[in-house]
Each structure stands twice: as structure tokens, then as C-alpha cells.
Homo-oligomer: A and B are copies of this chain.
Amino acid sequence: MKNTTLVTMTTSDSVPSRRQTWQKDAVLHALGTSQGFVSAQQLHRQLTQHGSAIGLATVYRTLNSLVADGLADSLVGREGESLFRDCSKDHHHHLICNGCGVAVEIEAKQAEAWASKVAKDHGFTDVSHTIDIFGLCKQCTK
């Protein structure tokens, strides 16, 4: 005889529903208060110092999902670590100061167009790009 079990399911292949936690809020908020790009470790340190007993793993997880959802941008810093920033949803690029970390959001229409044209000319598909400008801001130049 078959062992039939009653299972309640909303849809056949449902995407697990997200749950709201104070941890997610904390990360998103801390990210919002940051001036430029910050690392997961920096954020965790900041949160901890402000009394929030959040786990490091959670900070990483939250940041990654924020990026996946397009609510944050990430890029690879000078030492290879991932840096994050609260960003608007549309695609754009950054001008980043090596000194203080401040990031200026920039339009890259020209570069975008150039990149996609080059790729297309070479028969490439599924194209993406990495365009970031680094330097020293006016303040840090002094």
C-alpha cells in the first residue's frame, strides 16, 4: 500500500517567500549611511560597534541577495575584496576615490554603446561589461 501524505502547497514550484528580519533592515540601513563602497567586514564591524549583535555570515548573505535583487552594487576593490554600495536600480558606473572611498555615480552612455558595439562586431552574445574609474578625489589629492 502506498504511503500517501497530504501536502499543502501554494504552487507547484513556488519561490520560497522572503521573510522580513531586523537583520536585513540593519544591513540595508547601514549600507545606506555609508558614503562610498564598503566591504562586508566593515559593515559588520560598524553594526557590531553600534550594539547590533548580527552575525558576519548574515551580513554576507544579505549583501549578496541585495546585489542579486539589484538593490545594491558590488565591485572588486584594489585588494580583491568585494565592495558594496546602496544604489539605484538602473545600470550605471562609478568614479571611485582610492583615498577615502567616496564614489561618484556616473553616466556611461558613451562607454556602454561603445562596449556593446565592439562585442557585437566580434560576434559575441550575452554581453556584459566592467567599467570603473579610479583615482584620487579633489580632497585626497591635497
Residues in chain A within 8 A of chain B (CB atoms):
76, 80, 82, 95, 97-98, 104, 106, 108, 110-111, 114-115, 118-119, 122-138, 141
Contact = CB atoms under 8 A, between A and B. Distances in A.
A74 to B, nearest CB: 11
Contact of A115 (B82, B128, B133): B133
B123 A134 contact: no
Contact of A134 (B80, B128, B134, B137): B128
Main secondary structure of the interface of A (DSSP, over half): strand
B123 A133 contact: no
Contacts of A95: 118-119, 122, 124
A80, A104, A124, A130: most-surrounded residue (chain B CB, <10 A)? A124
B123 A138 contact: yes
Contacts of A114: 108, 110-111, 114
A36 B78 CA distance: 23
Contact of A141 (B80, B110, B118, B125): B125
A31 B9 CA distance: 55
Contacts of A128: 133-135
Contacts of A82: 80
5 tightest Cβ-Cβ pairs between the two chains A and B: A124-B135, A123-B138, A127-B135, A130-B132, A125-B141
